[in-house]
Amino acid sequence: MKEKLDRLKELLAEITDMQRALALLGWDQQVYMPRGGAEDRGNILSTLSAIGHDMATTEELGELLEALKPYAATLDPDADDACIILRSARDYDRNRKVPTKYVAEFAKVTTLGQSAWEEAKKKSDFALFLPHLEKTIELRREYSSFFTPYDHVYDPLLEDFEPGLKTKDVQEVFAKLRPEQIKLIKAIKEKPQVDDSFLKLTYDQKGQWDFGVEVVKAFGFDFNRGRQDVSVHPFTTSFGIDDVRITTHFLPERVTSAIFSTMHEGGHAMYEQGVSQSLRRTLLASGASMAVHESQSRMWENLIGRSKPLWKHFFPRLQEIFPAQLKNVSLDTFYRAVNKVEPSLIRTEADEATYNLHIMLRMELEIALVEGSLQVKDLPLAWNARMQEFFGLTPPNDRKGVLQDVHWSGGMLGYFPTYALGNLISAQVWEKMNAQLPDVDAQIEKGNFAEILSWLQENIYRHGAKFEPQDIVQRVTESKIRPEPYMNYLNHKYSEVYDL
């Protein structure tokens, strides 16, 4: 059995290596690739994706997993080896249902799609992106068909990001959440708006970069095992536990964008850097799911990053870097400003009270697209109609509307709900951590994040992808994913910010 397990780990290590190489190809594509490189990059990604898929679906791998499953059942279910075998067996079964030809085509279509989207976004011209998105939706529908029977055509897409979660489960949670969020937004709307005009002054990019780096370094992001670059759409990716990359971006007249992006991606990255070294070069050397991942990025960005104690510590430093803009701004005014609630067009810039509505809008649309009840060509109209319904706003152009996010261009349908689920999980974990660590606020105020990070590492990060999302949430918080802690958190916070 030992020999079989060793051989399994060898094969899994090679599959992991290939996934890391694909991640680098993707990172470079978004961060540094010149425009001319798109066509060849599509070919390279397509070829390597196909090879990776072949590696993940060999007969040998299947036989090893079959032989090892009974052995895994004899182990402590929390043991690395048990999780490696069972998680790999699950992945294997799913991968076997997808033809290699499909994988190659999907990689190529979405690589070209991403370039087309960039161009379309720059020119705010949906027509440039339309044929690519049509092809992508068609391919996603085909993907779901490999997993029939399913309860919902969206289930197999969701499963890729949230193992074990069904469309119905998410819809139920969102159905509970939505009226609560709308109630909160209404309550806030009746109060005088906070002043954030000073955030819209010009701040030089170097200062923003330096401050962001200083903050995530303090959080615990290890720059010897990672780095930050600039991309249109900030993201985190990992080429190994010891090489985790984050990106940020700069928005003119919105200094908070770079700062909170860096905190957000820093949260993702510390999760990746915190995975146990015993899981190195296995498929488990990553987060449990995108929602659990997002719970960490949103926790560092919002529950910590937009908290009063955080700014008690860091605001003087920010004032020092930007005296002209901030010297006459009080801590309290600044704190309210970074927590300003206002229905807005751009998801990534949305406040915590309205953010989840942006997600629900996207999830409804992408479900309609894969169901076929919405045609891709009608998507901009459908988007704008929902923006009006949800926020009372109409985007002035598609760049600030339907073209704002990268996800669909990369074929990542099923991804958006994980952001909102992540918000919910973040508050559940936060509640638990505060019950176990009595002085979290005081630690943050002192700029001391070591104990917080170490609690998260111990309870979440080190496990990597050993457990399914609902299982790790249950394990940490003694409950499945639920909306109440998040709404409690929001209601409590905004009572203070807006004197509700």
- Interface positions with a second copy (CB under 8 A): 13-14, 17-18, 20-21, 24-25, 28, 32-37, 39-41, 43-44, 46-48, 51, 222-227, 229, 239-243, 280-281
Q: Which is nearer to a second copy, 13 or 182 (CB)?
A: 13
Question: Is 294 a known active-site residue?
Answer: no
Structure tokens at 489: 């958190």
* Residue pair 259/215 in contact by the 8 Å Cβ criterion: yes
Least distance in angstroms from the C-beta of 234 to a second copy: 17
DSSP string, 134-160: HHHHHHHHHHHHTT-S-SSTTHHHHHH
* Residue pair 358/347 in contact by the 8 Å Cβ criterion: yes
What is the dihedral angle through the alpha carbons of 11, 17, 21, 23, rounded to the nearest 10 degrees?
100
* Residue pair 402/383 in contact by the 8 Å Cβ criterion: yes
DSSP string, 335-392: HHHTT-----S-GGG--HHHHHHHHHHHHHHHHHHHHTSS-GGGHHHHHHHHHHHHHS
Report the DSSP pairing between strands 226-230 and 244-248: parallel
- 47: Cβ contacts below 8 Å, ≥ 6 apart: 104
Element (H, E) at 85: helix 80-96
Q: How far apart are CA 45 and CA 51, in angstroms?
A: 10
Q: Which is nearer to a second copy, 272 or 294 (CB)?
A: 272
CA-nearest of 178, 385, 417 to 290 is 417
Q: Which is nearer to a second copy, 53 or 336 (CB)?
A: 53
Least distance in angstroms from the C-beta of 33 to a second copy: 6
Least distance in angstroms from the C-beta of 37 to a second copy: 3
Q: How far apart are CA 412 and CA 397, in angstroms?
A: 23
Edge-to-edge strand list for the sheet holding 244-248: 226-230, 244-248, 236-238
Q: Which is nearer to a second copy, 41 or 306 (CB)?
A: 41
* Residue pair 433/455 in contact by the 8 Å Cβ criterion: yes
Least distance in angstroms from the C-beta of 119 to a second copy: 13
What crossing angle do the helices spanning 469-477 and 416-436 adopt, rounded to 10°?
Answer: 20
- 238: Cβ contacts below 8 Å, ≥ 6 apart: 20, 23, 244, 245, 269, 272, 285, 286
Structure tokens at 178: 């939505």
SS3 of 90, please? helix
Pick the catalytic residue from 265, 301, 352, 468: 265
Least distance in angstroms from the C-beta of 52 to a second copy: 10
Which amino acid type is present at position 414?
Answer: G
Least distance in angstroms from the C-beta of 408 to a second copy: 25
Q: How far apart are CA 359 and CA 357, in angstroms?
A: 5
Least distance in angstroms from the C-beta of 243 to a second copy: 3
Least distance in angstroms from the C-beta of 399 to a second copy: 22
* Residue pair 270/60 in contact by the 8 Å Cβ criterion: no
Q: Which is nearer to a second copy, 6 or 93 (CB)?
A: 6
Residues belonging to the active site: 265
